[in-house]
Amino acid sequence: MPYLDDLNPAQRAAVLALDGPVLMLAGAGTGKTKALTSRIVHLLATGKARPNEILAVTFTNKAAREMKERVARMLGQSVEGMPWMGTFHSISVKILRRHAELAGLKSNFTILDTDDQLRLLKQLIVAAGIDEKRWPARMLAGVIDSWKNRAWTPAKVPSSEASAYNNRGTELYEQYQERLRTLNACDFGDLLLHVVTLFQAHPDILAQYQRWLRYILVDEYQDTNVAQYLWLRLLAQGHRNICCVGDDDQSIYGWRGAEVGNILRFEKDFPGAEVVRLEQNYRSTEHILAAASGVIAANAGRLGKTLWTEAQGGEKVRLIGHWDGEEEARWIGDEIEALQRGTRGGQPVGLNDQAILVRASHQMRAFEDRFLTIGLPYRVIGGPRFYERLEIRDAMAYFRLAVSPDDDLAFERVVNTPKRGLGDKAQQDIQRTARVSGMSLLEGARELLAAGGIGGKGAGQLRAFVAGVDRWHAKTLQQGHSHIELAEQILEESGYTAMWQADKTPEAPGRLENLKELVKALEQFENLQGFLEHVALIMENETEDAVEKVSIMTLHAAKGLEFPAVFLPGWEDGLFPSQRSMDESGLKGLEEERRLAYVGITRAEHLCTISFAANRRVYGQWQSQLPSRFIDELPVAHVDVLTPPGLYGGAYGAAAPGGFGGGSRIEDRATKADVYNSPGWRRLQERSSQRPVSQPRESRSPVIDLAAVSSFTEGDRVFHQKFGYGSVAAIEGDKLDIAFDKAGVKKIVARFVVAAHE
């Protein structure tokens, strides 16, 4: 078996132990995912299991797809369907669609996105007479989410939580769940919660799945939350053939309810589990591994492991300070190009092999701007997603209506987009009619029209809209219809495309492009429903294409991935570790940040570059930054400190003596003090004095800190004196791109708008 020859003895043992529980607990890059994949191959190759008897849970859809491809390659034949390979969410959807009625839903239920969820919560909050400004919907959403992560239905929320959301949390949670049922909808957390509840209430159904899914494999086990854990345990208790792999040092989703304790509980739940430890790292060079190990060693309460690599030597981890975030982006852009051309010595490194991993997504903007300027192709993974753009969401609402005409949230979103002469009153009348007769908004509209309850121009247009939805829905039911043609027809007949064609704002052409792109995306799916499901579930922008691109993503999104060259910018106190983790009284948050640093460094194979800036513009305000405390934890023997660029006179980027891309090696030491004392850093500080900046974060009170941060985030509703209501579409320093309901998109300075109370 060639796939077994590629493994070391410990990995092979984990692959061969097919029956019974196995826990593989090992550090980054030790081949856990590789062993897991080989196990699947072994199950199939030995005929122990058919593809549909293997449940394999990965962290992202992308990881699932890659695993499938790898299995096929290792088997040397294409695998016909591995229906149960995916994320917890995608597998749950499959199960839930089959038994929707037992969860009080229909099988064509809709999966809500965050926007829909917030809109719904807002309605409930307002109806409950609560001041949404003091008690924002986002807060309630967070509370409900955390309960769902613990698998608590409204009835199961313990009384200790009674004070949540100003004592109204439990009550609103219950109402929210009821609303979702009437809407025939689920939010993300529900997907798991419903399945767990269903399994608990219907042992016969659970038994069926336990019979079918004979082998269970789970990657990134350290990041499972309680609901996921219960889900797994229920399914695994049939055959007990469960293999989980993970690394406690890479647990980075505590803030989303993940519990490292699940790893420790494994041996209790599955007595006699075989525990496999892997110690050889195959990914990174010695210096990179040592730097990562040095940082993580500062965490208390680790299970602790030894890691070693045969890849001795190589380049040390590089550390460099910059004047500000823009300069950091410029330097990294130049470095990436130099690596790509191979002009900094060594083999050229393609763009696909380079990645920038940031702590906070607002850091991405500086890189995107710079790369657009110099024409460096990049992809943002898990960033502001294509599917979150206004026009895409509108179009999708139309598609949702076509698939399920009783999708009220979709109806609300588009009934008057484009404008159909339906004022607030008409829309309220539709709502009331629907509520009184307990039917969907579409039916409500139909009834209202029949009763002559809508006057003026609106009546004719609403009638056309209702007829349109009927027509589109009928088409979705036709065998063999082309869903692509249908999508085009919907956008055409609804007047939605025409609306943007008539729009004179500079954004309109881009929006029309995006709509075309959307129709193109449909080609990969069998029908609209499949497509809508996909979009609801994707956790990242996964479009792969032929052009080589450098990847930009958050550290969280980088889990499990590897790149020959990795850039880790923004290592500054307050950014990384985050201000919140530093303000916390305990060390929990800080330790999670440190694990994130460990994840970041261990993504690198050959070259790892850590950087920080002396000044950074955060939400429009300049702030002085201090280098991250994690920099102090880097073992000096494995780090090179580079001189900040642009200090040698002449044009930026001119090669400095003995260096590459503008940086040069000055000392083989890496503590913060060394950085401060280096001539380059002092020069940097001198330059700092030329521009007034606020005090470093540490010496400022948290009150000022809060005030410095603009209170708007993307998607917020705002009000402007002249342009009226709108939503924040993008934030750029202190300027906001606002999509006004009536006036189109405009760039406005943040202090000229206020949060809307609609």
Active site (annotated) includes residue 640 = no
Site for Mg ion in 445-474 (CB under 5 A): none
Is 81 flagged in the annotation as binding?
no
In this complex, which beta carbon is closest to ligand ATP, that of residue 216 or of residue 684? 216
**How does strand 550-554 pair with strand 621-624?**
unpaired
**Which residue's Cβ has the minimum distance to Mg ion?**
33
Residue 561 CB, shortest distance to Mg ion, in Å, is 9
Q: Is 250 a catalytic residue?
A: yes
Residue 6 or 668 having the CB closest to ligand ATP: 6
Q: How far apart are CA 378 and CA 371, in angstroms?
A: 7
31 labelled binding-site residue? yes
Query: Which residue in 122, 150, 594, 603 is the catalytic one?
Result: 603
Residue 487 marked ligand-binding: no
β partners of residue 36? none
Write down the least CB distance from residue 29 to ligand ATP, Å: 4
Instruction: Kindly state the tokens that stand for 349.
Output: 């490194």
Q: At closest approach, how far in Å is the CB of 564 from ligand ATP? A: 11
- Helix, strand, coil content of the chain in percent (nearest 5): 50, 15, 35
- CA dist 533 → 20, 55, 97, 158, 490 (Å): 34, 20, 11, 33, 19
Q: How far is the CB of 163 from Mg ion (least distance, A)?
A: 40
Torsion angle of the four alpha carbons 310, 312, 314, 316, in this order, in degrees rounded to the nearest 10: 110
Among 14, 23, 28, 232, indicate the residue that binds ligand ATP (CB under 6 A): 28
Type and span of the H or E element at 428: helix 424-436
Q: Which is nearer to ligand ATP, 391 or 593 (CB)?
A: 593
Q: Which one is catalytic: 32, 344, 365, 616?
A: 32
The verdict on whether residue 32 carries a ligand-binding annotation is yes
Closest approach of Cβ 256 to ligand ATP, in Å?
Answer: 18
Q: Is residue 450 part of an annotated ligand binding site?
A: no
Residue 32: active-site member: yes
> What is the x/- site pattern for ligand ATP, positions 230-249, by CB under 6 A?
-----------------x--
Could you give the CA distance from residue 200 to residue 159 in angstroms, rounded to a whole number?
A: 22
Q: Which stretch, 26-34, 101-109, 375-383, 403-411, contacts ligand ATP (CB under 6 A)?
A: 26-34
Which of ligand ATP, Mg ion, none is residue 282 near (CB under 5 to 8 Å by kind)? ligand ATP
Residues 6+ apart with CB under 8 A from 120: 112, 176, 179, 180, 183, 409
What is the DSSP secondary-structure string of 596-631? HHHHHHTTEEEEEEEEEEEEEEETTEEEE--B-HHH
Sign, Cα dihedral of 594, 598, 599, 604: positive
Q: Which span sits near Mg ion by CB under 5 A: 132-140, 412-420, 557-565, 575-583?
A: 557-565
219 is catalytic: yes
Q: Candidates 18-26, 33-41, 80-88, 399-407 — which segment interacts with Mg ion by CB under 5 A?
A: 33-41
Q: Is 661 annotated as a binding residue?
A: no
Question: What is Dmax (Cα atoms) for the chain?
Answer: 84
Please check if 373 is assigned to a binding site: no
Residue closer to ligand ATP (CB basis): 70 or 687: 70
Contacts of 448 (CB under 8 A, 6+ apart): 429, 430, 433, 454
Residue of 30, 33, 110, 281 interacting with Mg ion (CB under 5 A): 33
When the beta carbons of 28 and 552 are compared against ligand ATP, the nearer one is 28
Beta-bridged to residue 574, according to DSSP, are 578
Spatial contact of 280 and 11, defined as CB atoms under 8 Å apart: no
Q: Which is nearer to Mg ion, 247 or 327 (CB)?
A: 247
Told to check if 560 binds Mg ion by CB under 5 A, we report yes
Residue closer to ligand ATP, measured from CB, 441 or 553: 553
Q: Note whether 600 binds ligand ATP by CB under 6 A.
A: no
Selected catalytic residue, list 219, 408, 533, 573 = 219
Identify what 216 binds: ligand ATP, Mg ion, none; CB under 5 to 8 Å per kind: none
Select the span of 413-421, 559-567, 574-582, 742-750 touching Mg ion (CB under 5 A): 559-567
Binding mask 38-77 for ligand ATP (x = CB under 6 A): ----------------------------------------
Which helix (H) or strand (E) segment holds residue 405: the answer is none
For residues 159 to 198, the per-residue mask of contacts with Mg ion, x marking binding by CB under 5 A and - elsewhere, is ----------------------------------------
The site map against ligand ATP for 542-581 (x = CB under 6 A) is ------------------x-x-------------------
Count of residues of this chain found to bind ligand ATP when the rule CB under 6 A is applied: 18
**Are the CB atoms for 666 and 680 separated by under 8 Å?**
yes
Is the Cα dihedral 259, 257, 576, 589 positive or negative?
negative
Is 646 a binding residue for Mg ion by CB under 5 A? The answer is no
Judged by CB under 6 A, which of 150, 283, 359, 483 binds ligand ATP? 283
CA 287 – CA 289 distance, rounded (Å): 5
Cα separation, 501 vs 510, whole angstroms: 11
661 binds Mg ion (CB under 5 A): no
Question: Burial level of 718, CB count in 10 A (0-12/13-18/19+)?
Answer: buried
**34 near ligand ATP, judged by CB under 6 A:** yes
The one of Mg ion, ligand ATP, none whose footprint includes residue 191, by CB under 5 to 8 A per kind, is: none
N-term to C-term CA, the chain: 66
* Using rule CB under 6 A, residue 10 touches ligand ATP: no
The angle at the Cα of 328, spanning 548 to 322, to the nearest 5 degrees, equals 155
Collapsed DSSP state (helix, strand, coil) of residue 197: helix
DSSP state, residue 644: P
The DSSP bridge pattern shows strands 639-642 and 665-667 to be antiparallel
Task: Give Cα separations from 536 to 113, 131, 194 (angstroms).
Answer: 7, 30, 17
**Exposure string for 28-43, b = 16+ CB within 10 A, e = fewer:** bbbbbbbbbbbbbbbb
**Encoding tokens for residue 425?**
């009153």
Q: Does 602 bind Mg ion (CB under 5 A)?
A: no
User: Quick one: which of 219, 296, 297, 225 has its CA closest to 254?
Assistant: 225
Q: Does 7 bind ligand ATP (CB under 6 A)?
A: yes
Catalytic residue among 132, 220, 328, 353: 220
Q: Is 30 annotated as a binding residue?
A: yes
Which of 32, 344, 389, 617 binds ligand ATP (CB under 6 A)? It is 32
Burial zone of 497 (CB within 10 Å; 0-12 exposed, 13-18 middle, 19+ buried)? buried
CB nearer to ligand ATP: give 243 or 466.
243
> Applying CB under 6 A, which of residues 3, 15, 30, 391 lies at the interface with ligand ATP?
30
- Are 660 and 697 in contact, with CB atoms under 8 Å apart? no
How far is it, in rounded angstroms, from Cα 77 to Cα 63? 20
Of 6 and 178, the one with the shorter C-beta distance to Mg ion is 6
Taken in order 591, 595, 600, 602, the sign of the CA dihedral is positive
Give the footprint of ligand ATP on this chain (CB under 6 A).
6-8, 11, 28-34, 247, 250, 282-283, 560, 562, 602
Residue ranges at the known binding site for ATP? 26-33
Instruction: Tell me which residues are annotated as active site.
Output: 32-33, 219-220, 250, 603
Residue ranges at the known binding site? 26-33
Give the footprint of Mg ion on this chain (CB under 5 A).
32-33, 560
